[in-house]
Amino acid sequence: MKDIIESISHFQGELVYNLNHHREKFLHLEHDLGKAVKTLNLSTYLRCCGAAKTKGYPLVHLFYAMLLLPFLNKTFTALWRHFFFLEHLRARKDTYYRALKYQGIHWRALISRLCLKAIASVEPVPLREKLLIADDTINPKRGKRIELTSYVRDHTHGRTVLGMSHLVLSYFDGKSLFPLDFSIHTSSKRPKESFSKAMDGRTVASKRRKEAFRKKTDLLIEMVQRAWNHGVDACFVLFDSWFASPKLIRAVYGIGYEVICQLKRNNFRYLYQGQSYTLKRLYREVAQEEMHYLPALDLYTCALIVEIPDFHTVTLVFSKSKKATRWVVFLSTDTSLTGQQIIETYAKRWAIELFFKDCKQLLHFGREQNQDFDAILAHHSLVFIRYILLAYILRVKGIYSVVGTLFEKRYFRLKFQGRKSPNCFN
C-alpha cells in the first residue's frame, strides 16, 4: 500500500525534480497567473456570482489583490501597507475587511464554475481515471470569539480541538486535482464567547451558516448530486471509513456514480452465500483462509462478492500486509474490478490529503484573522481559487503534480519591483 501511495502521489520528490528541471517555464509566474485568470474567466464569474457594487473599489480588483498574497510571500496586512498594492488600488484596511464580509457573493457557484471551466480546458483522460474524492480536514482556531467556532473531533490525531471542520469534494483525473465544492461545519459544543449572527434566512450567507449545523454525510450527498447535475464526468466516488455507511453508499450509487471506500469494522451485516455475516466474522470464517499474496501490492488480499440488504451485490476486498496484525477491508459497487484494481483506485484518495497539505502550508488556508463567518468563508474560497489556478497552470505546462515547490524562493516568487504588474487590475 505504501508503494502505491508513493507512486500515485509523486507530489513531493517528483514535483521538486520536475519544477527544478523545468524552472525556465516559471520565470514569469505573474504572466501565467494573468493568463490563467483570463482563460478561466475568473473576473466574469466573480461578477456573475455577486461580486459587484455600485460605488467604491471594484470587488473583483480587491479579491484579485488578495489572491496574489501567497505568490508575493506577503501577509494580509501588506494589502494596505506595501507599495505594490498602494500603487494600484490605494485601498485601506477597512475596505478589504468589508469586501470579505460582503454577503452577496455565491462562493460555491464561483468555485464550481471555475473548476468546471478548468476541467473542460485540459486534455481528456479515460473515464476510469476520473474520480470524485471526498474528505474533511480541521481548521484549528485559538480565539473563542469567532463566529460558529466550536470544539470538533480531530480523527487524525484522536483528540478534540477548538476550530472548524471542512468537508471538501474534489475532482481528480490522475494528473490534476481540482476542488469542486466545500462546506464549513461546527458542533454543538461551542465556547460561551462563540456567537452566530441573526440574518435574513433567504440570503446565501444565511444558508451557508445553516449548513454548518447539518450532518456532513447529508451535505456530501448534496455535493455529489450537484456534481452530477453540473455534468461532472467521473467513474468513482472515493471516501474513507469515516463516511462509509450503507445510506451514503446507496445514495451516491443512486445518483449515478460507482463507489469505492474503506469500511468500518462494525456490526452491519452482509449476505454471503445465503448467510448473514459481520465483517469480523466474514474475515475469520471465510476471507482469512482464502487470502493470497499479490507481489504488485506487497499485500495479502481476498476479494468476495457479497450483497448489501435492500441494495445489490458489491465486492469486498480484505487486505493485510505481511507484518501487520490488523486487516482492512474495501468496498466497490463495481463488481467487475479485481481486488488489486480496487485497492489501487482507492489509493488515489491520497491526492486530497496532499491537497490539504499544500493549501495549509502554501496558500494561507487557516491563516485568516477574522471573527466573521462570511470573512472566513471568503478566505477559504480564495484559497481554493488559488489552488485551481495553480493546478491549471501546472497542467498546461505538462507537469502533473500539485503546487508544491512553485514557492521555491530562488525561482518562483513574483518579482514585482520594476516589473509590469499582473494583468488583474485592468
Task: Give the model confidence (pLDDT) of 50-99 as tens digits.
Answer: 988 767 888 998 998 899 888 777 889 988 988 878 887 888 999 999 99
How many Cα neighbours within 13 Å face the side chain of 378?
A: 29
The per-residue pLDDT for 28 is 60
Query: CB neighbours (10 Å) of residue 78?
Result: 17
Q: What is the pLDDT of residues 48-62, one digit of tens each?
A: 999 887 678 889 989
Supply the Cα-derived Rg of the chain in whole angstroms. 23
Q: What is the pLDDT of residues 331-357, one digit of tens each?
A: 999 999 999 999 999 999 988 988 998
What is the overall mean pLDDT for the chain?
Answer: 84
Find the angle CA(390)-CA(392)-CA(394) to the nearest 5 degrees.
70
Domain extents in the chain = 2-240+350-407, 246-347
88 is written with which cell numbers?
A: 494600484
- Strands 177-185 and 275-277, by their bridges, are unpaired
Task: Tally DSSP H helices, then E strands, for the chain.
Answer: 17, 12
Please determine, for residue 23, whether its predicted confidence score (pLDDT) is greater than 80: no
The per-residue pLDDT for 423 is 43
Residue 319 phi, psi dihedral angles, 5° rounding: -140, 145
Predicted confidence band at 21 (pLDDT cuts at 50, 70, 90)? very low
Query: Among 86-90, 178-182, 219-223, 310-314, which stretch is predicted with the lowest mean pLDDT?
Result: 86-90
Q: What is the pLDDT of residues 279-325, one digit of tens each?
A: 999 999 999 999 999 988 889 999 999 999 988 899 999 999 888 77
CA dist 345 and 337 (Å) reads: 10
The per-residue pLDDT for 400 is 66
Please determine, for residue 208, whether its predicted confidence score (pLDDT) is greater than 70: yes
One-letter amino acid at 112 equals: S
Beta strand ranges found along 269-388 (DSSP E): 270-272, 275-277, 292-294, 299-307, 313-320, 328-332
Mean pLDDT, residues 102-107: 91
How many Cα neighbours within 13 Å face the side chain of 87?
A: 10
CA dist 145 and 147 (Å) reads: 7
Please determine, for residue 197, whether its predicted confidence score (pLDDT) is greater than 80: no
The per-residue pLDDT for 75 is 87
Residue 420 DSSP one-character state: P
